[in-house]
Structure 1
Amino acid sequence: MWVFYRSYYQFAMIAMMLGSLSACLVGPDFEPPEPPKINHYTKPPWPCRTASAPGHGGASQQFIQAKTISAEWWRLFHSPKINKLICQGLTNSPNLKAAKATLLEAQENLSAGIGNGLFPNIAAAVTAQRGSNTGFFNSSNAASDTLTTSGIPTSVFNLFNASVNASYLLDFFGGVRRQIQGLQSQVEYQYFELRAAYLSLTSNIVTTAITIASLHRQICVTKQLIREQAEQLAIIKKQFDLGGVSQIEVVAQQTQLAQTRAALPPLEKSWAQARHLLAILVGAFPSECYVIPSLDLNELHLPTELPLSVPSALVRQRPDVRAAEALWEAANAQIGVATANLYPQFTLNGSWGKSNSVGSKVFGSQSNLWNIGGALFQPLFRGGALLAERRAAIAAYDVAAAQYREVVLQAFQNVADTLRAIEADAREMRAQKQAESAAYANLYLVRQQFFLGGVSYLSLLDAQRQYQQTRISLVQAEASRYADTAALFQALGGGWWNSDC
């Protein structure tokens, strides 16, 4: 055993000394890109506060530079129902579970790469053989039988062997370490893909819940209008029977009622589809949408203080940008791998074992075998394949760099679009609130004039149609404020860096 320990110790020391010489890393070192040197997300001037409107959901929103983004930003809507849906989604979502498993796979691949590349490969082997030797055979150690074939002596013997073999690739030019860098970049990529999946899931749950609440309100408004118009149609028919109105007015009322009724099925279809989508997001089947609570816009609170990260920080906050950077770094590592393949590879090999023709004596003191040596492998001619592989790695690096640039541009576009949307939503809601108030006042006046005989029934129908449209538009404008507020948190990265998990 001491012989083995001494031989392996010498082998390990040689490997460590030679490994310490392998500080050379061919190929470029990756340098993280600098943040874009811009000061604004969108063209100034930019208001610090949005417009306000009376009523629920009409509060003014203020943009606060460098405000901390909570990892649980959806709680700012103060909706226990949405909070519960988020918890269900984070627990049951198949996409999130798949992203976690993919990250674990990348981590284990990294561990395997480190084990295979940075540590010696040691294996044990035990063999038992039976063979023959024709001609002269003499061995004091051999347990053999001597036979005669055509007058030539033939010895049949047994051979037992137990050995431990070790080999170690000396990473002189850093090809192994570049491979490990690439695997580490893959781990980072999958980590940020998990963060992106987390952000996408939570954002989709919030926006889908807002859509359901908006459609629910629109359905309620439409049903109320149908009831009111049906009652008016009954009154008009009685007046027609008494000769008070013409048939044209009856037909006009019937037409308006039919149009309002026709608007209801598309709303109900969209509402049902949104509930099906939300059921999928929380990990349930569409038929199990009973797990989706009833949602109403009145239950939501509009956040009045909105964070606004400085542009230079956005590229470190967006998980999709960080994922693209990780792929870029992985492509950079592959250039080093392809470059290292052009240079010689050095391997140390060693073994220690026991051998005997008698199995019971295999571990005896007289049967020691050991060897130590090295090998050099240098590609001489591969038809230009190695150089082509390096050029391909450089091209892949350029692709990853361009894709990173594209993701960064899209990230800034997302923030710019969302900021403009929030500002425009506030002005739209104020205008829709004014339009709804004006349409209601106009309907009241026209109705009074109609009862006094001052206007025709067609004028009353037109006033009712205008008021109906403004009520629906006001609901849509309010929902847009909530949805685009959620979109801003998503565009800014969702605060994952403030999460404890």
Structure 2
Amino acid sequence: MRAVHLPPPRYALYLLALTLSGCALGPKGIAPDMPQPAHYGVEATPGEIGSADASQKFALGERPVPTWWEAYRSPQLSAWVEEALAKNYSLSQASHSLTAAKEQLRAQINESLFPTVDAVLQSNRQRALGLPNIGAPTNLYNVFAGELNVSYTFDLFGVERYANSALAAQVDAQSYQLDAARRALAANVVIAAVNGAALRAQVEATERLVQLADADTAEVRRRVELGSASNSDLLNAQAGAESLRAGLPGLRTQWQAARHALAVLMGRTPDAAPPDLELAALTLPERVPVAVPSDLLKQRPDILAADAALKVAAAQEALATAEMFPSLSITGSFGRAGFSWPKATSGAGAVWGIGASLTQPLFHGGALQARRRAAQDEYLASQDNYRQTVLNAFQNVADSLSALTHDADTLTAASNARKHSEQYWRDAERRAALGAIAPSVTRAGEKQFQNARLTEIRAVATRLADTATLFQAMGIPQREEKSE
């Protein structure tokens, strides 16, 4: 008779593939190679920006400092950041969630490595039907039993191991997300403090502009009464004063909102917001470390979290494959049982059992294969997510560097305009004191100065805030920042 060669079952083919691939059921989760640009933006990063009195150096290749906010040289600001890191509830929630995730990982690993042992104590009273024409129509009896049940599943093809690897990588990703939250919180505190100080200064300058406009209006009104000015001149002066006055409520709203935001970041109620800093009390950090792209991949928390997510997807793909192979479990029990406690505790009451089961999935309606294909696509998606995260990080750094470069040019021009307008105003004051010019010319000079000062205040605040954004964009080497 001619022998018939049946095709091997599907799992046998996977076993063969497993052997040929060195016992690897899935990808290793290694991050894909990314381009290493010579510089982040379309223009090379300058070594130094700004004027002599407000210069900044970009230290290319230098490692970032964990407590970067101390570069502002404000003890009050540093204290606020430390208070926020210690008392912010969102950060505390993320920290507790991470601790819980670590405990869940520990529980899952221990449960997969060791057999489970359970003690069972039973005491039942039952009423059952008897056999017809034999004995009593019903039986009433007690059952007493005490057992130790032991079970263990052998991880033949790494189902438990890959599940543990996936969960461990998820914990890593959550840890990096916590690092990112810490850095974002520190940057938000610095930016909120800078905005609060700047808005307060803008409110003061605008209030002075309103006073000057009211003085101009009063002078025009006197001139109208004397017949040297028209009513149109008065209406124009009044419109200018009211226009300036209309901008004050919005500025005050922004100022108070910045103070409230800072208080909440620090774990306080809005009414307990700290007093504003003086903008002049903040020192522009003179040296800003700028990591090279290859180092950025190792210290940006979002990139590290994307890398951990890639490892999660790799482990889940291997897990989906391992679930298609046989599983072996053993169970055992030992104890005593009887219809009364004396019988249960006697020699005749000993009971025990032992067994083993080998399970091979044969037909699940294509569900196992579909899950494996889904896991493969999820792994490809995680690779794309990693690539996009890296590109977004490069863009974030490039935008921050470009913003700071242009901030420096803006601040230089704004400072020069403020200096020149102040010189003109002071000169007008001296001439008015000598009676050479009218007081209105002095007020015009001061208005020009206050407007130039407003522009400079915004430029200073923007540069201080964008510096904090760049510090945050650099990340922190994890081996230095982690305490565990």
TM-score by length of 1: 0.83
Corresponding residue for 2:341?
359
Amino acid at match of 2:472: Q
Corresponding residue for 2:9?
none
Deviation at 1:361, TM superposition (A): 4.2
Corresponding residue for 2:266?
282
SS at the partner of 1:68?
A: coil
Q: Is the 8 A contact 1:331 1:397 kept in 2?
A: yes
Q: Distance in 1 between matches of 2:412 and 2:158?
A: 64
Q: For 2:115, which of 108, 115, 120 is the aligned residue?
A: 120
Q: Distance in 2 between matches of 1:235 and 1:481?
A: 39
Q: Distance in 1 between matches of 2:207 and 2:141?
A: 99
Deviation at 1:340, TM superposition (A): 1.1
Q: Does 1:213 align with 2:197?
A: yes
Summarize deviations over 1:449-482 as a string: whole Å, max 9, x none.
9999999999988766644432211110111111
Query: Are residues 131 and 444 of structure 1, via their aligned partners in 2, closer, same or farther at CA, if it must alter by over 3 Å?
Result: closer
Q: Distance in 1 between matches of 2:372 and 2:106?
A: 26
Q: Does 1:314 align with 2:296?
A: yes
Matches within 5 A, 1:363-378: 363-378=345-360
- Which moved further from structure 2: 187-196 or 276-285? 276-285
Query: Are residues 358 and 263 of structure 1, via their aligned partners in 2, closer, same or farther at CA, if it must alter by over 3 Å?
Result: closer
Corresponding residue for 2:465?
483
Corresponding residue for 1:160?
144
Q: Does 1:256 align with 2:255?
A: no
Corresponding residue for 1:200?
184
- Which moved further from structure 2: 305-314 or 37-46? 37-46
Query: Are residues 24 and 186 of structure 1, via their aligned partners in 2, closer, same or farther at CA, if it must alter by over 3 Å?
Result: same
Deviation at 1:271, TM superposition (A): 0.6
Corresponding residue for 1:405?
387
Q: Distance in 2 between matches of 1:132 and 1:221?
A: 94
Q: Is the 8 A contact 1:35 1:315 kept in 2?
A: no
- Which moved further from structure 2: 245-254 or 400-409? 245-254
Q: Is the 8 A contact 1:71 1:496 kept in 2?
A: no
Corresponding residue for 1:415?
397
Matches within 5 A, 1:237-276: 237-276=221-260
Summarize deviations over 1:401-434 as a string: whole Å, max 9, x none.
2122221111111111111111111111111122
Corresponding residue for 2:61?
66
Q: Is the 8 A contact 2:31 2:386 kept in 1?
A: no
Q: Distance in 2 between matches of 1:237 and 1:358?
A: 112
Q: What is the number of equivalent residue pairs in this alignment?
A: 460
Summarize deviations over 1:99-143 as a string: whole Å, max 9, x none.
0121122112212211222211211222345577957xxxxxxxx
Summarize deviations over 1:77-115 as a string: whole Å, max 9, x none.
122222222233223212112101211221122122112
Q: Does 1:84 align with 2:79?
A: yes
Q: Is the 8 A contact 1:114 1:180 kept in 2?
A: yes
Q: Distance in 2 between matches of 1:202 and 1:447?
A: 45
Corresponding residue for 1:349?
331
Corresponding residue for 1:438?
420
Q: Is the 8 A contact 2:31 2:310 kept in 1?
A: no
Amino acid at match of 2:199: L
Q: Does 1:232 align with 2:227?
A: no
Q: Does 1:390 align with 2:372?
A: yes
Q: Is the 8 A contact 2:173 2:304 kept in 1?
A: yes
Q: Is the 8 A contact 2:224 2:231 kept in 1?
A: yes
SS at the partner of 2:346?
A: coil
Q: Distance in 1 between matches of 2:293 and 2:140?
A: 83
Query: Are residues 166 and 442 of structure 1, via their aligned partners in 2, closer, same or farther at CA, if it must alter by over 3 Å?
Result: same
Amino acid at match of 2:110: G
Query: Are residues 463 and 165 of structure 1, via their aligned partners in 2, closer, same or farther at CA, if it must alter by over 3 Å?
Result: same
Amino acid at match of 1:284: R
Q: Distance in 2 between matches of 1:262 and 1:459?
A: 24
Deviation at 1:181, TM superposition (A): 0.4
Q: For 1:302, which of 259, 284, 292 is the aligned residue?
A: 284
Q: Does 1:334 align with 2:316?
A: yes
SS at the partner of 1:74?
A: helix
Amino acid at match of 1:209: A
Q: Distance in 2 between matches of 1:281 and 1:102?
A: 19
Q: Is the 8 A contact 2:70 2:78 kept in 1?
A: yes
Query: Are residues 402 and 31 of structure 1, via their aligned partners in 2, closer, same or farther at CA, if it must alter by over 3 Å?
Result: same
Structure 1 stretches lacking a partner, 5+ long: 1-22, 136-148
Corresponding residue for 1:46?
45
Q: Is the 8 A contact 2:411 2:460 kept in 1?
A: yes
Q: Is the 8 A contact 1:70 1:498 kept in 2?
A: no
Query: Are residues 357 and 476 of structure 1, via their aligned partners in 2, closer, same or farther at CA, if it must alter by over 3 Å?
Result: same
Query: Are residues 496 and 464 of structure 1, via their aligned partners in 2, closer, same or farther at CA, if it must alter by over 3 Å?
Result: farther
Corresponding residue for 2:106?
111
Corresponding residue for 1:27?
26
Deviation at 1:337, TM superposition (A): 1.3
Deviation at 1:243, TM superposition (A): 4.0
Q: Is the 8 A contact 1:26 1:175 kept in 2?
A: no
Q: Is the 8 A contact 1:128 1:158 kept in 2?
A: yes
Amino acid at match of 2:74: S
SS at the partner of 2:147?
A: strand
Q: Distance in 2 between matches of 1:229 and 1:258?
A: 9
SS at the partner of 1:362?
A: helix
Amino acid at match of 2:397: V
SS at the partner of 1:38?
A: coil
Q: Is the 8 A contact 2:39 2:45 kept in 1?
A: no
Q: Distance in 2 between matches of 1:88 and 1:475?
A: 27
Q: Distance in 2 between matches of 1:429 and 1:302?
A: 12
Deviation at 1:36, TM superposition (A): 3.8
Amino acid at match of 2:173: Y
Amino acid at match of 2:56: Q
Q: Is the 8 A contact 1:222 1:260 kept in 2?
A: yes
Query: Are residues 333 and 246 of structure 1, via their aligned partners in 2, closer, same or farther at CA, if it must alter by over 3 Å?
Result: same
Query: Are residues 251 and 131 of structure 1, via their aligned partners in 2, closer, same or farther at CA, if it must alter by over 3 Å?
Result: closer
Q: Is the 8 A contact 2:157 2:325 kept in 1?
A: yes
Amino acid at match of 2:269: F
Corresponding residue for 2:70?
75
Query: Are residues 250 and 397 of structure 1, via their aligned partners in 2, closer, same or farther at CA, if it must alter by over 3 Å?
Result: same
